[in-house]
Chains A and B, each alone.
Chain A
């Protein structure tokens, strides 16, 4: 069980500390508001830490190992997608991401039917939105640095 108050309190102190360190060279007009907010953050963080020691709120972050693994894998798939999109281009990255995510979330992951279905849906949805954004809305989607 996690002590949520202590985590929030110490994280806030660290966050406030970093902001304090990088905003010392601001002018008076540019820094006055930042300084007031930092005072509030340090004060509220101190309250959270005190609460964490006196009347802590204990929480379970993940309900189960399965949930933790699902979230981590989901985030890793998304991270890889975002990482490779500027390199391989929007269309190839999106086709692969969409199909992989579909396959991952399905119950019968590795059946031929599911794979074909996922690839087909990926092709339709991604192409549909690509056409709208690229041609209708004129958004310059990443082409892919590897192919430039």
Chain B
């Protein structure tokens, strides 16, 4: 980061180095959280993204109150209907109101995005911590496992796993999709956490904890992981966006959420057949995915700068 950008307003007029240093030291907060928050606030885009995401989540939660119709209520007079006073965003091939469907679809998409992220993070962190802390054959085994998973192209693995879904109702299909997406996304986190722990565990404060007789679980949970939290949080955020896109790809091939449940991804895939005649059937769900994932990515960017300003880890 360019140092001249830090706190320009507090720089003394004469520009003497001593004053600059003092100025830079004169920050409003001295806690880790406070510093983090201050760095985050500078990232204008990330702030906007955070607000947007909050708004999207709220509208998903309150969908039943906000939506003018049910997500599957068919209006036989309005097949592929253009936006009108009865249907503000138009209606789809079954006469269902697009606005309501977008609101309810958001619940499913966001649910899948968050849940698959949390499970992937949980498993990845657990396995990565084990590998990083214990080393030896545990590390070897877990790393070979990630090798096996990573040696398959992502989509091929997704399709093979999707082939196992047979005979699921709409709601069950959500669980299956979460599991599938989790199965393909935990490996990156595992490697990340392992890498962090490998470098952290040689530090003096860990060796001190060892000497004091803290159990391995205690060391991992109370000392190692909290210091590795930054990249985990950043990746967790990015994973949400990634997984929402993955879900839409699954829907494109017909493996996504099954009717009568609908997500933004399945709505987008369904609308492709009427792109020319009824563009509202693709534009609105597509836009929602775009805005959500964009916000998530910008948020992740901001978090990375705020939590971990001295390490740019690329992806």
A and B bound? no
